[in-house]
Amino acid sequence: MQTLTPAVFWAQRHGEIYLRVEISDAKVSGSPHCLTFLCLYFSGQGHGAKGENEYEFSLEFLKPVKPEIKHKSTQRQVNITVRKQEHCWWDRLTMQEKKPLFLAPDFDRWLDESDAEMELKEKEEKINKLSIESRIPKDPYLGLKKGYLFMYNLVQFLGFSWIFVNMTVRLFILGQDSFYDTFHTIADVMYFCQMLAVIEVINPALGLVKTGMMPAFIQVTGRNFILFVIIGSLEEMQNKPVVFFVFYLWSAIEIFRYPFYMLACIDTEWKTLTWLRYTIWMPLYPLGVLAEAVAVIQSIPIFDESKFLSIRLPEAMGSFLSFSYVLQLYLLLMFLGLFFNFRHLYKLRRRKFRTKKRKAN
């Protein structure tokens, strides 16, 4: 029987090398072993790229490894784990600069150095967390806290669902005419939902949820400023089409976010909802901020003309300090907040799906 070289895929972490040998139903001849602290030898029989054959290969590693080799054969492949002697990142796998033809990166497990460091940090944090939790007595009020959070998210989900469905139906029936009376139709429920959303700033402050307080503070404060100051306090703004887009984009995000948190309260996950919660915000959140910015810009001439919220100055200094200066500063802060929150949410998404991918592997 002809001896051939199998396809081998590799990835690394700071302390380990992972090899995936593409041989199905493999019968490994002994165990993969290190001939020296630098060289690995593998031999086995199975179904590979050239059909049923004897396959073997050897690798001379860039740096020394430990002699203990772990391997596991499955119906599809052979997985080999090699531990590095020195905990460090390698520029390449083999001593020779030109990699062997049978060797390729394993993109299912591939991470660059920074991602691997983040993964290692997460593992250490998880171990520390488990260690701390094992020493801390269980919270006797955990069920009550979860019940409270579930009910809060349920109420918000129902509120924003009513807004989204109501606006969608009116859009199909009335067309563009629905743009101009959105505020008078939707405002009461939106007021309720956004005032209730202040709880999202309080919850992390009280330790009821693990998320940071600052992202919630930025979002809730920004939305309430737009709702109560820019739109709610100016009758001239309430009939503008931009109100429709602001409300519609807000509700489109929340009808996926709140049910995700509801299921998390009962330790349940729906994969489709998880994907939507961590993906739908990527186009909708910047569009929502853009709609808010348009509302602010449209309100500036109204504040200038009405002198509403402007500060009266002494006659020697001029008549009024217009509130429009505050709005111009707010526009800058709005886009800084967009950058901060987008970066925070993207990190959450990346961490969530990287964790799910590791569990799947």
Of the candidates 289, 269, 285, the residue with the CA atom closest to the CA atom of residue 352: 269
Residue of 292, 305, 315, 325 marked catalytic = 292
Residue ranges of alpha helices (H) inside the chain are: 113-135, 142-174, 182-196, 199-205, 213-224, 242-265, 271-279, 281-306, 324-360
Q: Which of 233, 280, 218, 226 is nearest to 255 (CA)?
A: 280
Q: Which residues does 72 contact at the CB level (< 8 Å), separation at least 6?
A: 78, 79
φ, ψ dihedrals at 44, nearest 5°:
-170, 160
Q: In what order do the strands lie in the sheet with 65-73?
A: 65-73, 78-84, 16-21, 8-12, 103-105
Where does 32-179 have alpha helices with state H? 113-135, 142-174
Tell me, yes or no, if 248 is annotated catalytic: no
Distances (CA, A) of 125 to 120, 190, 343: 9, 39, 21
Q: For residue 198, what is the DSSP state?
A: T
Query: 189-210 in b/e burial notation, b at 16+ Cβ within 10 A?
Result: bbeebbeebebbbebbeeeebe
> Which residue among the candidates 285, 305, 315, 346 is catalytic per the annotation?
285
Question: Is 285 tagged catalytic?
Answer: yes
Q: Is 81 helix (H, G, I), strand (E, B) or coil?
A: strand
Element (H, E) at 3: strand 3-4
Radius of gyration of the chain (CA): 29
If we measure between CA atoms, which residue out of 110, 104, 3 comes closest to residue 48? 3
Supply 210's token pair. 């693990």
Contact 85, 7 (CB under 8 A): no
Catalytically active residues are 285, 292
